[in-house]
Amino acid sequence: MPATDKQGETMDIRTYGDPVLRRTAKPVETIDDEIRDICRRMVEEMLRADGVGLAAPQIGIPLRIIVLDVEGEFHVLINPELLFVSEETETGIEGCLSVPGVHAEVARSAQATIAGTTLGGERVEITGEGLLARAMQHEMDHINGHLFVDHVSQVKRRSLIKEFERKKRESEE
């Protein structure tokens, strides 16, 4: 079941073509009950969709918030910043809840460090490699208005978008 907002409206994950996915998200000014509720809804939606990460713009909220659930590591970060990415890269298959049904090989830095604020107001740094590093970079892309398809060739991107649009049409029929 999709997460709902305070009025009980469905909070579906926004998909490719939605302008909110291409905008740079704004910083969170204060961690209050509204922000905690947004984070709760994001976690619910990420778990419902069986994702490893989700950024607030993906549910239509243009704020700098990400949630991650990777290999037993769970994080909710407000105003995350990418502090470090290694020069060493790894290529791996990547997908996205906002571009459902398509996957592509994407090169990402093998290690990454992000910093952000927890819901409790604590400043934390997270360093990861492998899938965690990939997920951190992927979600940071979202709050900066980028998608994983931006990391492939123009030809591959066109192919992925055509495949996404075909699958979307089929699911609507």
Geometric angle at alpha carbon 79, from 73 and 83, rounded to 5° = 70
For residue 114, give the nearest of 79, 151, 74, 153 by alpha carbon. 79
112 near 139, Cβ under 8 Å? no
Q: Is 94 marked active-site?
A: no
The H-or-E segment that residue 54 falls in is strand 53-55
**What amino acid is encoded at 38 in this protein?**
I
77 near 56, Cβ under 8 Å? no
Tokens of residue 6, six digits:
């305070």
The H-or-E segment that residue 136 falls in is helix 131-143
Integer Cα distance of 65 and 20 in angstroms: 14
The residues with which 68 forms a beta bridge, in sequence order, are 53, 75
Name the active-site residue from 9, 139, 163, 170: 139
119 near 36, Cβ under 8 Å? yes
Q: Which residues are part of the catalytic machinery?
A: 139
